[in-house]
Amino acid sequence: MARTLVNVPKAAKQGEVVEIKAMIAHPMETGYRIGPNGSNIPRDIIRRFACTYNGEEVFSADLFPAVSANPFIAFTLVATTSGTIDFTWTDDAGKSQTASATITVS
């Protein structure tokens, strides 16, 4: 689907609040613009973003046509245990793009 960038601290102390950042390169086409041939450019947006921490969903967002191209999302979570943070973006066609990062909690 597209290129993703995620920023997760490599290490954190137990109970520390950490900032997570995620971005996907995507045009987020609303379906309202007119193309060069005079017809509407088909809608193509990321509909849902979800983040899981060791398999448990910790953040999700439903996205709409008003969201700009290359959506950037930042949020915080509490580092409890070492593990994997997985990111999933799902588009209008049902296709998903995933990325993951690990965090070490001491």
Per-residue pLDDT at 1: 57
In this model, does residue 28 exceed pLDDT 60?
yes
Domains delineated in the chain = 4-31+42-105 (2.60.40.10)
Number of neighbours of residue 45 by Cβ within 10 angstroms: 19
pTM value is 0.92
Residues contacting residue 3 through CB under 8 Å, at least 6 positions apart: 24, 25
- CA 103 vs. chain centroid, Å, equals 17
pLDDT digits (tens, 9 = 90+) for 42-92: 999 999 999 999 999 999 999 999 999 999 999 999 999 999 999 999 999
Say which residue, 32 or 2, is predicted with more confidence: 32
Per-residue pLDDT at 2: 82
